[in-house]
Structure 1
Amino acid sequence: MSTQAGTVAFIVEQMAAAGSVSARPMFGEYGVYCDGKIVALICDDQLFVKPTNAGRVFIGTPEEAPPYPGAKPSFLISADGLEDADWLAELIRLSADELPMPKPKKPRAK
């Protein structure tokens, strides 16, 4: 089962106050970026946020599950969490602040 484009648009809109938020297709699902950092995955119409200490403190007792078979567990955000735009944006902002910037890609050899 793959994620519907409407679900991705809704989740990105709910996170908009966190910063520069976008989603990109990735391995048949979607990666969610905030200020240039990958902070979450949307798989099977569910939001999985990368685990951080700040995110864990903010959520309290997060539900954790892997976004796909073989993946490390991430914070699985419930439907209630998706509906609360202020709460979701704050979680994403806190997570993005704690995550490192991606390493620059090496140029391809010609």
Structure 2
Amino acid sequence: MATSKEYIDFILDQLSSLEGITFRKMMGEYIIYLNEKIAAYVCDHRLLVKITPTAQKMLPGAPPAEPPYAGAKDMILVENVDDREFLANLFTALEPEMTLPKKKKPRK
């Protein structure tokens, strides 16, 4: 089930205190960026972040990691999306562990 516009709007509102948040729609789901780095995926009304030492430390009781979509790497589900301050702190703490997306080579 594709993520609704209302849900992505809610997540973006929760992150509105952060500078540099952008998003991109991808086949009915969304990628959230922080300072041009992939910060999270929003798929099937779930907010998922990359598995990193900081994410594991800040989300110790998270359900088992799962892929956001078939064929993707496992990610950690963020259940506490109602806590605006926690989300801002989580994304800020994860930012140094995020990487810039690889540039696509032009087609020949």
Q: TM-score band, normalised by the shorter chain?
A: 0.7 to 0.9
Q: 1:1-110 alignment to 2 at 5 Å?
A: 1-63=1-63, 64-78=65-79, 81-109=80-108
- Give yes or no for contact 2:43–2:68 (8 Å, CA) kept in 1: yes
**For 2:81, what is the secondary structure of its paired residue?**
helix
Give the distance between the partners of 2:60 and 2:22, measured in 1 at CA.
26
- Give yes or no for contact 1:18–1:90 (8 Å, CA) kept in 2: no
C-alpha displacement of 1:68: 1.5
TM-score norm. by structure 2 comes to 0.86
**For 1:88, what is the secondary structure of its paired residue?**
helix
TM-score norm. by structure 1 comes to 0.85
**For 1:83, what is the secondary structure of its paired residue?**
coil
- Taking only the aligned residue pairs, the percentage that are identical comes to 36
- Give yes or no for contact 1:8–1:23 (8 Å, CA) kept in 2: no
Query: Whose helix proportion is higher, 1 or 2?
Result: 1
Q: How many residues align?
A: 107
Q: Which runs of 5 or more structure 1 residues have no equivalent in the other structure? A: none
Report the RMSD for the aligned CA atoms in angstroms: 1.7
C-alpha displacement of 1:6: 0.8
- Give yes or no for contact 2:40–2:48 (8 Å, CA) kept in 1: yes
Deviations 1:27-64 (A, max 9, x none): 32111111101111111111111121112112224322
Amino acid of the structure 2 residue aligned with 1:74: M
Q: CA 1:8–1:54 in 2, change beyond 3 Å: closer, same or farther?
A: same
Consecutive aligned runs of 4 or more in structure 1 exceeding 4 Å deviation = none
C-alpha displacement of 1:107: 4.2
